[in-house]
Amino acid sequence: MAEKAADLTLVVAHTHTEHHLHHYADMNVDRIYMDYNATTPMEPEVIQVISEALLEAWGNPSSNHLAGAMAKAIINQSRQNVARMVGGKAEDIVFTSGGTEANNLVLHTAMEHFKKNCSAAEHGGGVQNGCSGLPHIITSNVEHDSITLTAKHLQTVGKADVTCVPVSKVTARVDVEDIIAAVRPNTCLISVMLANNETGVIMPIQEICQRVKSLNKQHERLRILLHTDAAQALGKIPVDVQELGVDYLTIVGHKFYAPRVGALYVNGPGTKTPLYPMLFGGGQERNFRPGTENTPMIAGLGKAAELVTANLSRYQSHMLNIKMYLEERLQDVFRDKIRFNSHYPGSDILPNTCNVSILGPALQGWRVLSNCRRLLASVGAACHSTSGNRPSHILLSCGVPAEVAANALRLSVGRETTKEDVDAVAEDLRETVQLLEKMN
């Protein structure tokens, strides 16, 4: 998708002074955005329903009059749309401010689940086995920071034990057997992302859930709760909570052309599956997430979910075709100087994600992007953009050598990316690499 630079308030430009080679040069050229794993623009239909809700559904959804009823009806319809997108029921959807809040809510719930179960056991009403020691959480070493840092904080302050299971350096997937081997009697939560934002690798969530549910059937076993962060998967591949078998699934709007709000799927919140609020207030979202609802943004989320349900196969096919063409063009241009960091034997990859390194001593990812005239992309997760020149810990964890990881570019295509965009990006990268090699 080519965008006029004048329409972009920010261009890709690192703030580190040593990176300022020729930032903001050629501001009149068409920029080509290939950073859809960082965020997506809102679909026109999504903008329209948000605008309509801002104008017409401004009432408080808790009010017992027409203005409130109109806002509540929009929220209810959006809840149904989001539930349908993930194969759940409307009552299983809790709206949140975004993925970070949803992920924190799951970890908070797991802690409360452990505490309340152990308290009940002390009084003869709960499962005794697993109540000695701290609650134990299992995750992987390639999760989003809202999982990793929250779990690390709980461990640092002495509230939980955490096991970060490393992904395979061959497949870049977490191994099901490694997850099961990490389970202890006091394990209360397993949280593994559905797809990685840098490599695009899809994790074996269904197999993990099947194995853990067998463990949960054991007599006197503390129930292990199962969570997946589906931020990068939604809108790109089919996501069905029934097939996956999860208790919780994180939904992030701005990854599938919706506004920056989110939701948490919970399989029967408060009945089949525990959910404990972090906030207390006016009782909205059935007391699970109080606070007056952001009706326009929820309306946009619902519309975007509706579009995914109706068009996923077309979106997926287009992105896969464009990504394959991108990889072919890069291979043609750079030949033996290219290394794909999103190709792993036996692993399925998101249809839109190409992580690639152009090999050479002066071709670090930040340097290449700083000198591209048209390409807007990133070297990894946007939330790690302040980490300087260090190679991505995700790629290092997946077995990518440090000198290769340092040169990584994460190119993620979108619904409107064209082959002409790809041709232009390939030429832009060719010219940039040629320039940097001459400078070196």
Per-residue 3-state assignment (H helix, E strand, C coil) for 294-323: CHHHHHHHHHHHHHHHHHHHHHHHHHHHHH
Exposure of 414 in the CB half-sphere (CA atoms within 13 A): 22
Q: Helix (H, G, I), strand (E, B), or coil: what is residue 285?
A: helix
* Ordered per-residue pLDDT tens for the chain, 440 residues: 664 443 443 333 333 333 333 444 455 579 999 999 999 999 999 999 999 999 999 999 999 999 999 999 999 999 999 999 999 999 999 999 999 999 999 999 999 999 999 888 777 665 656 677 899 999 999 999 999 999 999 999 999 999 999 999 999 999 999 999 999 999 999 999 999 999 999 999 999 999 999 999 987 789 999 999 999 999 999 999 999 999 999 999 999 999 999 999 999 999 999 999 999 999 999 999 999 999 999 999 999 999 999 999 999 999 999 999 999 999 999 999 999 999 999 999 999 999 999 999 999 999 999 999 999 999 987 655 555 578 999 999 999 999 999 999 999 999 999 999 999 999 999 999 999 999 97
Cβ proximity of 36 and 402 under 8 Å: no
H-run or E-run covering 96: strand 93-96
Q: What is the model's pLDDT at position 126?
A: 59
Q: Is 383 a catalytic residue?
A: yes
Q: Can you spell out the DSSP letters for 341-394?
A: TT--TT--B-TTEEEEEE-STT--HHHHHHH-SSEE-BSS-GGGTTSTTPPPHH
Q: What is the model's pLDDT at position 28?
A: 59
Name the catalytic one among 118, 209, 383, 398. 383
Which has the closest alpha carbon to 208: 182, 226, 185, 229?
226
CA distance 196 to 193: 7
Q: What is the model's pLDDT at position 19?
A: 39
What is the token pair recorded at 86? 């993930």
Cα–Cα separations (whole angstroms), residue 229 to 195, 248, 267, 427: 8, 8, 15, 36
Q: Is 92 left (phi over 0), alpha (psi -120 to 50) or beta?
A: alpha
Q: What is the model's pLDDT at position 379?
A: 95
Cβ proximity of 260 and 107 under 8 Å: no
CA distance 83 to 94: 10
CA distance 261 to 280: 19
pTM: 0.93
Cα–Cα separations (whole angstroms), residue 16 to 164, 360, 385, 428: 31, 21, 11, 23
CA distance 81 to 75: 10
Q: Which residues contact 149 (CB under 8 A, 6 or more apart)?
A: none
- Which residue's entry shows tokens 């099901």? 176
CA distance 30 to 373: 9
Exposure of 388 in the CB half-sphere (CA atoms within 13 A): 3
H-run or E-run covering 179: helix 176-182
Cβ proximity of 338 and 330 under 8 Å: yes
Q: At 419, which amino acid appears?
A: K
Q: What is the model's pLDDT at position 132?
A: 78
CA distance 73 to 81: 12
Residue 228: phi, psi to the nearest 5?
Answer: -135, 135
Q: What is the model's pLDDT at position 293?
A: 96
Cβ proximity of 248 and 266 under 8 Å: yes
Q: What is the model's pLDDT at position 5?
A: 40
Cα–Cα separations (whole angstroms), residue 51 to 88, 297, 298, 385: 28, 10, 12, 32
Cβ proximity of 345 and 324 under 8 Å: no
Angle between helices 44-56 and 66-86 (to 10 degrees): 160
Q: What is the model's pLDDT at position 218?
A: 86
| b/e code 43-82 from CB counts within 10 Å (16+ = b) | beebeebbeebeeebebbbeeeeeeeebbbebbebbbbbb
CA distance 17 to 105: 38
